Structure 1
Amino acid sequence: MSLRVTIASRIFRPEAGAAAFRLGALADELVGRGHRVTVLTSTPPEGVCDDGPMTVRRRRVLRDRSGSVRGYLQYLSFDVPLFFRLLATRSDVVVVEPPPTTGVVTRVVCALTRTPYHYFAADVVSAAAAGVGVNRTVVRLLAAVERWALNGSRSVLAVSEGVRQSLIGIGVRESLIDVVGMGIDTVRFTYRPGLPASAGRTLVYAGTMSEIHGAEVFVRAFAEIADLHPGARVLMFGRGVEVPALQRLADELVPGRVEIRPPESPDRLSEEFSVAHAALASVKPGVGYDFAFATKALAGLSAGAPVIYSGVGPLGPVVREHGLGWAVDWEPAAVAKAMDEALSSDPDDQRRADLSRWVLDHHSLRSVAAAAADVVVGPAARDGRSSSAARSDR
């Protein structure tokens, strides 16, 4: 039974980001099962769109100075048109991604059209807002909005047990939540053996640089050991609200040794990771994201780079248990020690291949997409909501 599945998300491939990769993998999985997928998303700031065998409808939105769709006006620039875009799109089932305002629009439209929807929860926005010091009244209002959007869904797809517990904490019904796991695109992020070493040893950070990540710990830590490794550099790829402050800090502490660059494609990042001495990833403690599983660490590991993970969350114990690199506190001295060890070693081809294989075996996005697709199309198929089902085309 072929279903019409609509995915509503402010970002999608080729834009870099965990949500873009996650939803892209879900779309691929659904198309592979014979369903018709339409994606309602934004026009990326740069990059060539290769959408493959699915319909992707893009619309320009407001972006902040870093190029991200982040902030009230930016969300509204996507959410208001989305109301009419969803109404005009024939769907048997809808999948929606945060923020909660997008979930609210989806719940309203789906109530009007009697269409089930699923909420893909990679994070809990109200918890994050509380962690970064947003006014308590605003946080309570945001939690109420988030709770209302999620409780109207057919199911909530949580990426981890930590997210599940946080969702329950804001009042989402436990019976709605399915934990589908966290993964990385192991096809796009892959180890490339035989590449020539880059000029000097590198530590590579790739992903968003915002308040919850606390990437400044890597700049401060590198400043402590930079003199011990004269040819080493830190490469930071991505965007985020912390980029200007990070650049100022780098220029002050280690001028010319930390390079902050725009986002790159998975292919290009895989090349950097494949010769890097370590990938860098962090979750800053005490900002409402202690449950987060840092997917940027999986990207580096999948491309053969051992990881230096700094901060809280479930990834630290995993790194230690499986020998994936270094898991340390969010503290410059601890990170500096790990950086010194990483730059003093030289992971060989077998070590890199083993790291890549571990991610493929344990955190492939394909397996996450398959689990999510089972949830998304299962109830709709049982309800008989196919393209030729009882509800007439709108």
Structure 2
Amino acid sequence: MADRRRVIVATRLYTPEVTAASFRMDALASALADDMDVTVLTTRPPASARPFAEPGAVRVKRMPVLRDRSGAIRGYLQYLSFDVPLFLRLLAHRGDVIVAEAPPTTGLVSALAGALTRAPLVYYPGDVWSDAVASTNAPRLIVSAMRRVERFVLRRARCALAVSPEVGERLGALGGHPERVEEVGNGIDTSQFHPGVASVRVEKPYFVYTGTMSEWQQPDLFIRALARLEEEDVQIRFFGQGSSEKKLRELAEELAPGRVHFGGLISPSESASWIRGAVGALVSIVPGIGYDFARPTKTYAAAAVGTPVLFAGAPTGAEVVRAGGLGEATEFSVDEVTAAMHRLLVDARDGTTERERARRAEWARREVSLQTVGSRAADHVRRALRGSGDEHP
């Protein structure tokens, strides 16, 4: 229709990649497509991705991008391989509003293109990237440069969308415009993650870890705990990618040979099936390195299929588990994780896990449906397009 407005979504991660960011952006694009023409400018998925079909209501434009050995788009060179061509792509695919996902360099390119095409910017990061960079002991010059870029993007954006109150508060403080930050929450696609999905059938009980494996999660904690459960014939199944994968493989071979398996990238439906059949879903956030505010999507995915969570680490994520009765929340400690693994094994054997499954899934459907989050985010994009927010400085 001639009067339909045009939205350009710029994101390096999009389905079929199994990441929180790709789920968020897919939910947003789908919600916007109800009454707007949506074009997603993104990347070709890694070679390991399963065959997939593009969504019919959204136009998806893909280009090749540099990836690291694990298949992730992680690192400054990899980011630039997406961001530099993105500038020209944004000029070629003009929209009435641009929605940019993190990192801040993508926001910067989108802000500059938006200034030339007179399209307002909505910035939709999953967290505060300059804080995350600082937490990795990056050189001070890099941290300072990233903070300046992020501050510029937040000041130029008509609106910034935050996944939690903690992220929203930090974005508002960093950009100096807290009134432009809107909390939309975070969630999981409950049409794919629900207790009715078929469980994967394997011979031995297992815990499952899905998603990114990096220094701010340090999932080696779970391998070390597994090694202490010598009397239990239980395994860990890792799915995903990340900078820590090589070290995790080496540690598994050393401490628990034959008991830890790495399945690479899988589709959301496969992920749901593996989570559904697990004794528990493993989630970790290292406390005190800048990610204490994180509320990992892994927690929501497990809750949505009714599988208990074993969360280790920072207090915000632990409180989500405790408040929702979603499983076990422990300190970032091998001793505590080992004990929690044992308790979840007992729950699986005595029927507690199945008795609690429907209640946990209902919590997820009510509290963290990604469809609701996508609709909420889309409403803020529409308001930004109408100019109801503050004008650019």
* TM-score greater than 0.5 by the shorter chain: yes
Structure 1 position 229 matched with structure 2 position 232: yes
Tell me how far 1:193 sits from its aligned partner: 5.9
* Conservation of the 8 A alpha-carbon contact between 2:187 and 2:370: yes
Aligned-partner Cα distance in 1 for 2:38–2:287: 38
Structure 1 position 268 matched with structure 2 position 273: no
Q: Unpaired segments of 5 or more residues in structure 1?
A: 384-394
- 1:306-335 CA-partner distances (Å, limit 9, x unpaired): 000011042211211221100001111111
The letter for the 2-side match of 1:228 is: E
Match of residue 164, structure 1, among 154, 161, 168: 168
* TM-score after normalising by structure 1: 0.93
Q: Indicate how the Cα distance of structure 1 residues 337 and 293 shifts in structure 2: closer, same or farther if over 3 A, else same.
A: same
- 1:218-271 CA-partner distances (Å, limit 9, x unpaired): 11111111x1212x1110101000000001111110001011220211111111
2:103 is matched with 99
Aligned-partner Cα distance in 2 for 1:195–1:69: 30
Q: Indicate how the Cα distance of structure 1 residues 207 and 196 shifts in structure 2: closer, same or farther if over 3 A, else same.
A: closer
Q: 1:149-298 residue pairs with structure 2 within 5 A?
A: 149-192=153-196, 195=199, 197-225=201-229, 227-230=230-233, 232-298=234-300
Q: 1:1-394 residue pairs with structure 2 within 5 A?
A: 2-32=4-34, 34-45=35-46, 46-47=49-50, 48-192=52-196, 195=199, 197-225=201-229, 227-230=230-233, 232-346=234-348, 347-381=352-386
* Conservation of the 8 A alpha-carbon contact between 2:197 and 2:305: no
Aligned-partner Cα distance in 2 for 1:80–1:196: 42
Q: Indicate how the Cα distance of structure 1 residues 119 and 196 shifts in structure 2: closer, same or farther if over 3 A, else same.
A: closer
Aligned-partner Cα distance in 1 for 2:367–2:214: 27
Tell me how far 1:382 sits from its aligned partner: 5.4
Task: State percent identity of aligned pairs.
Answer: 41
Aligned-partner Cα distance in 2 for 1:263–1:243: 12
The letter for the 2-side match of 1:39 is: V
The letter for the 1-side match of 2:293 is: F
* Conservation of the 8 A alpha-carbon contact between 1:204 and 1:273: yes
* Conservation of the 8 A alpha-carbon contact between 1:213 and 1:284: yes
Tell me how far 1:378 sits from its aligned partner: 1.8
Q: Indicate how the Cα distance of structure 1 residues 5 and 196 shifts in structure 2: closer, same or farther if over 3 A, else same.
A: closer
Q: Unpaired segments of 5 or more residues in structure 2?
A: 389-393
Query: SS at the partner of 2:56?
Result: coil
* TM-score after normalising by structure 2: 0.93
Aligned-partner Cα distance in 1 for 2:347–2:227: 19
Tell me how far 1:205 sits from its aligned partner: 0.6
Query: SS at the partner of 2:241?
Result: coil
Equivalent pairs counted in the alignment come to 380
The letter for the 2-side match of 1:223 is: A
